Amino acid sequence: MRKTSRCLLLISLAAALLAGGLAVHGFWQGSMNSREEGSIEIIGEAEPDPAAVKDVRQAVEAFPSVLESTTGIRLHHPVKVYVTGSEQSYQNVLKDAFHLSAEEAGEIAALSGGWTGGRRGLTAINAKAGVMSTPADRISTTGHELFHQVQYELSRGRDTDEKALFWLEEGSADYFGAVLASHLGQRPVDKWMMDVKAELLGAAETASPDQLQHNNLEQRKALMKKNLHSYAMSDLMSWYLLSTRAEGIECRKLGEYFERLGQAERGEQAFQETFGIALDDFLREFRVWWQQEQKKEAVFHFVSRKGVREELADELARQAQLAQQSFQSHFGGTLHGEYQIVLASDQQDLSRAVQEFCGMNPEKAGTLAASSLWIENGSTVLINVGQLDTRRQQIFSMGTMLMRIMQSQRSGHPAEDMEWLVRGAGYVMGTVRLSESGYGALTQYRQAWLSVLRQSGRLPPLSRMETADGYQSAAEEFSEDTVSVLAEYAVLRLVDRYGWQSLAEWQDKTRLTGDSRRAFRQVYGQDCRSFEKSIESSLGQSLLYTK
């Protein structure tokens, strides 16, 4: 089964996630004579989105040839794939076709976007789930679920046995789904893994490898909770295993493992026989590697689209590295992970790039491109460099953008952030980069902001600007420039009194507690309304409490 998730992260840096799947164990009970051997039949339920059905069909048609070319294996038992148009119809299929109780079907439907039963040769996919939002997602989800059918067949129904290895079952299904999507011209496998790393690096907590070994169905369902990121961790472990022990023959080794699993007493035996290393030794090696990986400074891969000058791309790459140096100097840490920075020449090109790199439909891509300087999608950041025609803009924008991404990563993507503080810190870091580059002293910018605010006449309260919606409504009433200047001035007041490190401490506390407001009180010893009073005092005027 595939967990439901949201994958697109925009300027607001909402959380993005792609998760693994879960198969149901047991022996296949259908009649081989009732359907052609190895056939895959698609059944629509409750009018699923035609675009989703089209992508599922493309995946189904390509699956046999990609499976055979990468593993040397064929799927022998026939499979029915139900594609449902709503969560309720998905739940009904789980209940009626899989013979689950109404209670269990409801529970699974709430947690999953796909479900596979190898014993019955059935797969169900909820076309409305978050894991079905783009063509790449739909293809990889379908490939994931069908690979569970392969696992079942090769292992003689032992793929989900409690003695098997949960992480390798789920991670290998996600890996094959990524391979299938890549074969069909969608997201490359490398991009999939970069997204997985980005998800884990920005996670407030994750399941440990030890939790992902031997699990019964109830334990598996518990691991499906989004806050544990169990499937992303399984993906990372599987990818690392294949990269270090099966390079060039990754899928063939997966087939070999599940064949051995059908004969072995435990997953550990099949694992060692297949990959030539004891499971405990591999887990120790993986933990050391991942601990080191999490401490590495981010790597940026710049992709220049047609019309983008080489000198501009080089300058932005240089500014990214200088921003990282500034982060290290001010906060004692940098952004981590691996990112693809796509440089689009103008608004129209940004729209096309969003469609190409994010799988978004033209209408939505056009709307975003019209209102955005930059857009973040997992490990990919797309920038309209047509708006960066001066060096000042290039310096400020790269500093601001990377600060926003680093804050989100460091704070663990809380459900609700303090919008004025997040935005203000980004703007302040962009300004710091200007100051470091010789464009005025920070004290001069502070004085200019203070003058703007004092002359504005009326200002929104910071407490109104705590949420994204509140910040937007304040910007509409008071102007974007006014709220931006107020946010950056307020952040600089915090820095003046508590130091730069206090921002890092706030991010770390937010990650630990999952509550940005509680973290603010812990670090600064006051809530937002109390802090407003110090801002009022410095401005010599009251902040209006406008609803």
- Helices 501-513 and 480-498 sit at what angle, rounded to 10 degrees? 100
Q: Which residues of the chain have pLDDT under 70?
A: 1-35, 541-547
pLDDT digits (tens, 9 = 90+) for 155-178: 999 888 888 999 999 999 999 999
Q: What whole-number distance in Å separates Cα of residue 202 and Cα of residue 194?
A: 12
SS3 124: strand
Q: What whole-number distance in Å separates Cα of residue 192 and Cα of residue 278?
A: 27
Note the pLDDT of residue 1: 56
Note the pLDDT of residue 537: 85
Phi, psi of 233, rounded to the nearest 5 degrees: -65, -40
Percentage of the chain beyond pLDDT 70 is 92
Note the pLDDT of residue 25: 33
Domains of the chain: 40-292 (1.10.390.10), 296-402 (3.40.30.160)
Note the pLDDT of residue 402: 98
Task: List the one residue out of 360, 19, 58, 73 whose CA is nearest residue 185.
Answer: 58
The tokens of 382 are what? 């797309």
pTM: 0.90
Note the pLDDT of residue 32: 43
Q: What whole-number distance in Å separates Cα of residue 449 and Cα of residue 443?
A: 10
Q: What whole-number distance in Å separates Cα of residue 360 and Cα of residue 366?
A: 10
